[in-house]
Structure 1
């Protein structure tokens, strides 16, 4: 098993980024490696970090401004070679179709439910690490 996994968390709101870190914790499931978080508050920071490589999963805030996570997700799926899986944070369950449009791999609603977020994040980490193995 990999020694650690890197999760990029994008939101213009520091409280949302903290919610994600606290909800998922250092290890979202026993069968995935410990997680190191990279926080980004702007789209240029996200793109720069993804270009550098080494990100295993992205968690994007669909409610972020001015660049919402749904548009960011669609952009990185088009532009980043071997784009990591994306967990999209959506404002309402009815927005799930937009998450599908953005090509997100999974979606959870805000405010985050710790169990749902940890389960979704762990599933994406498992799928990413299986591909890399």
Structure 2
């Protein structure tokens, strides 16, 4: 049986500050009682995301699929292939039809827009549980 971490690091990437704020607000500081309290790491550029993931202290990453100039789905696929211990990646998608592209990107889960706080918190909590129980990433 694993223990609940006190704190977890969740990265949120979008070139738009309002999208990052909406995600942070929807997920909250603790998405479920059995997950740690979230320390949010905001990234507005792909260079910021790469630096944070390279440091290796991220428990979950939420990437905006509509971000400019580089979307979260392309980044998700890149990181799944490049990082040995890639954290769970959640992609924010604007249309249900984009689900196939999120699957192609090897994202572990998706959050749909408009962002629903219950769905968002549930998705992030599920990914944090998987990360801390040692469920392996399948490539």
TM-score clears 0.5: yes
TM-score when scaled to structure 2? 0.93
- SS of structure 1 residue aligned to 2:19: helix
Does 2:83 correspond to 1:80?
yes
Structure 1 runs of 4+ with >6 Å offset: none
**Pairwise CA RMSD:** 0.9
Question: Structure 1: 5+ residue runs without aligned partners?
Answer: none
Q: Which residue of 1 aligns with 2:114?
A: 111
Deviation at 1:111, TM superposition (A): 2.1
Matches within 5 A, 1:1-133: 1-131=4-134
Deviation at 1:41, TM superposition (A): 0.6
TM-score when scaled to structure 1? 0.97
CA distance in 1, matches of 2:30, 2:6: 12
Question: Structure 2: 5+ residue runs without aligned partners?
Answer: none
How many residue pairs align between the two structures? 132
CA distance in 1, matches of 2:114, 2:18: 11
